[in-house]
Structure 1
Amino acid sequence: MTVPVFYSISDDFTPYAAVSLHSLVKHADPKRDYTVTFLHQGLSRDHEKALAAYNRDNVHIKFYEMSDELLKPIQDRKENYLRGDFFAMSIFYRLFIPDLFPEYDKVVYIDSDTVLNDDIAKLYDHDLGNNLLGACTDTSIQFVEKMLRYIKEVLTLDPKEYINSGMLVMNAKAFREENFVDKFFSLLGRYHFDCIATDQDYLNEICSGRIKYLDGRWDAMPNENTAALENPGLIHYNLFFKPWRFSGIQYEDYFWTNAEETIFADELKAELAKTTDEERDTEYHKMDHMLGKLDTTLQDPHNWARVKENEQVTL
């Protein structure tokens, strides 16, 4: 039985995805079989070739182009912005994996800004029971007061149970049986919730109470408030902590050790070198812009909290 792993990428994210894929292949168990699929809407021939080069006897690299028709209901609107400042359709691809790949009852999804330090099959092997997801609590927001208020007062969820969507073990069979995509499109089309974390918020809302919480080593995220984990299984360079833009961040050595072993090493080092302090400062403070939504969403008569209370919406 293969271990199905999915990424969602845009063409410009290929160098980072290659680093992640390289680390995945490096830690893959030679006695097991893996199928890695890249969901995209247009990859250059050179980039597809670079990723396909990681094919092995037991690691099969595939590509799936997402159709415009499937994604048509998701509009380039401010409430669907990533990090509050731009629209990225690729963040929604993961939601469709169970329906697009009915041959799989369980899958692993990881973001492209990740590095594996352990065998991803260990993630896949988690027994989800009747849960829809296996995931980790989002540690990147536990010290951000406005984000905690947003989760408690707008989403009416417990911040300690709010998961990050950059690593998901998905109960694909249950997703299909319970019509997850229909629920997502129904909520999206009817309410246009102004989200801070878009697809992540929908996953937290719809899957609330049906999430298996996994050890935090499977979604270790750089931050400035806690010590680094000694043995992270998966490092996720979430938000603005990108080692190809910033120096001195937690877990950067894991990234560069793997990056040096890819054909993109020089390109990635050049990107770090040419990033100015002014650009880093702008990037770092994008969090403030993202959290600026708190005040408006708190007052929004159609925010998650008011809709759930007044209309008794069943998610």
Structure 2
Amino acid sequence: MNISKEIPVVIAFDENVLIQAKVCILSLLKSSTQNECYHIICMHKNLTKELLNQFDYFLSKFRNCSWEYINMHDLFKSAYLSNIGPQSIATYYRFLIPRLLSKYDRVIYVDVDYIFRDGLYQLYFQENMDGYYLAGVSDWGVIKAYQSYLLNRGITSDEYINAGFLLMNLKLINQDNMVDLWLREVSDEKKQWLFMDQDILNLTCQGKIKLLKAKYNFIPPGYKDLLILDEYKEAAGEGNLHYAGPKPWKCWKGRKGMIWWGFYFKLPFSQRDIAFFIRSWCMIVYYFFKQKFTRIIYYLNRYLGIRLLKMDADTYMETECSPKQ
């Protein structure tokens, strides 16, 4: 495949989210036109030969992609993991993309909890990245809820982006030796960033971050009040979905969650994990009824004064499905 024609897409994962990685990649290849060619770079942690062979078989079914694997071994094994952020050191792998893939001027990075509903040709080949290290979508959830935290850490909230989908200008990042700075930040045990790699990227790249439209990284249910109505409708209706909060394989996420399961069922039968499916739907049903029950109890407590159980607002919120993993 001609490097000038392909779109390099990087995804990082370990064996705990292998199914999710396949669903993400499948959604990209199924949602793109036949003229779009992708080179999928899989950054992984010690996947066995058997698992890699399964991945080879899965990707071989598509004509519009090539792929390669980069084993990260035990890199970042001592890196800090926040209680809020992803519970995997694979989240830090993106820091090494500029060095490992320096043959490219730019690449696209995507998290595994992501569903594509459109291709990437226009973004990759036509987005002007002159003077920018990164391009991404504003993370309104963090900006609204953690203003004081961002301020205390010296991070400008006006251009704070979600790192789950990034267009990375590798040429400029390498030219300015940004990787060394990122690695120094992650090795500083005193700093313990709440949103880990995302905070580090936002802090160190301030002033050189380009904001993209919400359609490139729409986190359901979105923030309708903070977006232009047309941009919100475009993102919610046909934008790419990022399940950065509670995951659709753990919690009931309504129609947006069923979009993820729709792509799961498009996987070849041999690539599906029956144990994963059963375990996931047991959790979904459990959390669905648990949430309904606790919601009833909470409102009885709050509005009718019926104290069936001791429950305040914080306790009620804790019954929401955990966003981790």
Q: How would you bin the TM-score normalised by the shorter chain?
A: 0.7 to 0.9
**Corresponding residue of 2:244:** 238
Length, aligned pairs only: 278
**1:9 corresponds to which of 6, 13, 28:** 13
2:253 counterpart letter in structure 1: G
- CA separation in 2, counterparts of 1:253 and 1:84? 25
**Corresponding residue of 1:150:** 149
Q: Following TM superposition, by how much is the alpha carbon of 1:166 offset from its aligned partner in structure 2, in angstroms?
A: 0.3
Distance 1:223 1:148, change over 3 A: farther
Distance 1:15 1:190, change over 3 A: closer
Unaligned segments of structure 2, at least 5 residues:
225-231, 292-316
**Corresponding residue of 2:256:** 251
**1:274 corresponds to which of 269, 282, 289:** 282
1:164 counterpart letter in structure 2: N
- CA separation in 1, counterparts of 2:150 and 2:36? 39
User: Is 1:64 matched with 2:70?
Assistant: yes
Distance 1:203 1:271, change over 3 A: same
**Contact 2:82 / 2:193 at 8 angstroms: preserved in 1?**
no
Structural RMSD (CA): 2.7
- CA separation in 2, counterparts of 1:286 and 1:248? 13
Distance 1:248 1:40, change over 3 A: closer
Q: Following TM superposition, by how much is the alpha carbon of 1:191 offset from its aligned partner in structure 2, in angstroms?
A: 6.5
**Corresponding residue of 2:34:** 30
1:130 counterpart letter in structure 2: G
**Corresponding residue of 2:138:** 137
TM-score (norm 1): 0.79
TM-score (norm 2): 0.77
CA distances 1:205-231 after superposition (whole Å, capped 9, x unpaired)? 111000110001111112476487433
Distance 1:101 1:225, change over 3 A: closer
**Contact 1:40 / 1:66 at 8 angstroms: preserved in 2?**
yes
Distance 1:186 1:12, change over 3 A: closer
**1:176 corresponds to which of 156, 174, 177:** 174
Distance 1:62 1:121, change over 3 A: same
- CA separation in 1, counterparts of 2:215 and 2:166? 13
- CA separation in 2, counterparts of 1:165 and 1:271? 28
SS of the counterpart of 1:4? strand
Q: Following TM superposition, by how much is the alpha carbon of 1:115 offset from its aligned partner in structure 2, in angstroms?
A: 0.5
Unaligned segments of structure 1, at least 5 residues:
290-315
Percentage identity across paired residues of the two chains: 22
CA distances 1:65-114 after superposition (whole Å, capped 9, x unpaired)? 0144xx3xx4536xx21444885210110110110111111000000010
- CA separation in 1, counterparts of 2:134 and 2:39? 20
Distance 1:191 1:16, change over 3 A: closer
CA distances 1:174-197 after superposition (whole Å, capped 9, x unpaired)? 111111111122334456312100
- CA separation in 2, counterparts of 1:209 and 1:90? 26
**Contact 2:14 / 2:44 at 8 angstroms: preserved in 1?**
yes
Mark the structure with the bigger radius of gyration. 2
**Contact 1:51 / 1:61 at 8 angstroms: preserved in 2?**
no
**Contact 2:251 / 2:321 at 8 angstroms: preserved in 1?**
no
- CA separation in 2, counterparts of 1:149 and 1:285? 25
**Contact 2:24 / 2:116 at 8 angstroms: preserved in 1?**
yes
